Amino acid sequence: MQAQGIDHVEFYVADADQAAAELCATFGFRIHGELDRPGQRSVLVRQGGIQILFTTATAPDHPAADYVLRHGDGLATVALVSDDPAAAFADAVARGAVPVSAEQRRFTAFGDVAHTFVEAGELLTGYSAKGAPRDRHESLELLDVIDHIAACVPVGDLGPTTAFYREVLGFDEIFEEHIVVGTQAMNSRVVQSPDGLVTVTLLEPDPTGMPGQIDDFLERHAGAGVQHLALRTDDIATVVRTLSDRGVGFLGTPVSYYDELERRLGHVGLPVEVLRELNILVDRDEVGELFQIFTHTTHPRNTFFMEIIERLGALTFGSANIKALYQAVERERLGASPSAELSH
């Protein structure tokens, strides 16, 4: 049984209503409804094919209570679509997955992050719009799907976590890279479902280098977890301008990145002047181009952030962009200006 896409992601948070309202105000999601069950309250927001569920514990024995206490607000569940969720869950457990809840078809992925199998549309039942928080701004239809999920894992966990996705879920490993920035280094692997609809980027610090941002994430998050969620669009320039007007802050990029862009890549699908103005990164693979930008973290622990990505045919990840992201997050971590260069 193979995953057929991401149905939704679930965040465990201290206040589901507040978290949902903030995402609607900044990223233009709309509230689909709310649901109260014993021990929990959930609010579902949607935009395009993206569904994000915010869940708050209303009883101390709900798993969201312990998660938030340990990690703060964070992405706790990635729900995978299956035609037969029960059979898919049983198959995953038979292949070595550690079950968390057979009733919810939930099993451990890495750290305190879990996967569950659901039928398409299953999440939408039971939610009532009555009493749901009002959106503070007009909703948008600029973001289409979840492009990928990026997670940080401790030293020594990259290989076993990659193996879990290959052996338990039947994913392919499509990308691997060792990245060095100054005195720091990290290892990156990307796993993807055979149909290309589910992609997970795994990041591990290299202990031979000095501690850096991945080490910081693991310390502040108290272990492995999702570092960022990438949302895909077909008009990244409009998204960046629109979200900036709604108060979303984006990471800056050194001016030299754009000075070298045409020499490195030649003509690209968006004018260099627009990329420079909006701090958008660009790279290409054998198939096409991709454009990316990353938000400032607003998490109290400076852990989770968002990515906006547009693909013009590109199927994988530009190597230079992964390094550029590492550099951008490192500049923010160290309080450096966007024009500052990190040594290579």
Backbone angles phi and psi of 324, in degrees to 5? -65, -40
Round to whole Å and give the CA distance between 113 and 151: 10
Beta bridge partners, 289, equal 284, 313
Closest to 257 (Cα-Cα) out of 230, 277, 238, 240: 277
148 assigned to a ligand binding site: yes
Residue 70, both tokens? 């340990």
Helix (H) or strand (E) holding 204: strand 199-205
Mapping DSSP onto H, E and C, the string for 135-146 reads CCCCCCCCCCEE
Cβ partners under 8 Å of residue 118, min gap 6: 7, 8, 79, 80, 81, 82, 85, 105
* Chain CA centroid to CA 162, Å: 17
62 assigned to a ligand binding site: no
Closest to 297 (Cα-Cα) out of 150, 186, 110: 150
307 assigned to a ligand binding site: yes
Binding positions: 148, 228, 307
Binding positions for Fe cation: 148, 228, 307
